[in-house]
Amino acid sequence: MKLSIYQIDAFAEKAFEGNPAAVVPLEEWLPDEVMQSIAEENNLAETAFFVPTDSGFYIRWFTPKDEVELCGHATLASAFVLFNCLGYEKHRVSFDSLSGELTVTPNGECLTLDFPNQMPAPCEAPRALVDGLGIEPIACLANQDYMAVFSSEEEIVAIQPDYRMLEHLDRRGLIVTAPGKKSDFVARFFAPKLGVPEDPVTGSAYTHLTPYWAEKLGKAKLSAIQISPRTGKLQCEVKGDRVLISGTAVKYLEGSITV
């Protein structure tokens, strides 16, 4: 069986920036083990698969090790493929998913994700988190991921994680964040137990980060930079129980795979 595949740099202004995601459009689902094998073969943070439905599409995301319930950059990449490669003509694309309905709307040069607001709750920092980062955060919160807050961008840049220690965390991954110098806030994201030691730009993490920093800074619209080696820029907004996350994307690769 031959399948189309695209590799899109999401939250990127040019190739080799942002977070690369593979996108495999399907007419019907493949067996889960085949989709997982494709994701492992791609060896990217996420491979997205989607199939058409009566209302739009159903989307699923796989890391090299497991399926996840929510992924931002691969959803942005999937919408980019639909709008720019597959001739999708509606103004907005709707994806059903394990996290409910997710929509993506073109907004100038950007695509805007409409995702659930996942405000994290304060918690005690697990010992594996502190030991894994080698530094004590000024605050720790949790929802789908742990979020460790620091006082400066310099501290975020300097973190050199012990990934083996972070694998012991009982959440999907770990966000580290602080106020930014050229943006409202900065962040990094680690998910070693999913086969993603450091994710270049993590759209779903901003469902945690946006409501937290909106409350801290007293503003609904914020700018963010994920300061991984590839770097990604995002515009974020809280709208009640939803979070809008906007960014640009570019196509790096278009081809086919045989399974």
pTM of the predicted structure, to 2 decimals: 0.94
Q: Which two tokens stand for residue 50?
A: 């989607």
Range list for CATH 3.10.310.10 in the chain:
2-116+246-258, 121-240
For residues 114-139, one letter each, b for 16 or more C-beta atoms within 10 angstroms of the residue's C-beta and e for the rest, the string is bbbbbbbeeeebbebbeebbeeebeb
Give the Cα separation of 195 and 46 in Å (integer): 10
Helix (H) or strand (E) holding 209, with range, is: helix 206-217
The CATH number of the structural domain formed by 121-240 is 3.10.310.10
8 Å CB contact between 103 and 92: yes
Q: Which of 17, 46, 153, 198 is catalytic?
A: 46
| Token pair belonging to 247 | 């960014």
Question: What mean pLDDT is predicted for residues 208-233?
Answer: 97
pLDDT digits (tens, 9 = 90+) for 44-86: 999 999 999 999 999 999 999 999 999 999 999 999 999 999 9
Query: What per-residue confidence (pLDDT) applies to 183?
Result: 98
Among residues of the chain, what percentage have pLDDT more than 90? 99
Active site residue 89: no
Note the pLDDT tens digit of each residue in 168-186: 999 999 999 999 999 999 9
At residue 42 the predicted structure's pLDDT band, cuts being 50, 70 and 90, is very high
C-alpha 220/C-alpha 198 separation (Å) is 28
177 in Cβ contact with 224 (< 8 Å): no
Token pair recorded at residue 15: 């190739």
* Domain 2-116+246-258, architecture per CATH: Roll (3.10)
Question: How high does pLDDT run on average in the chain?
Answer: 97
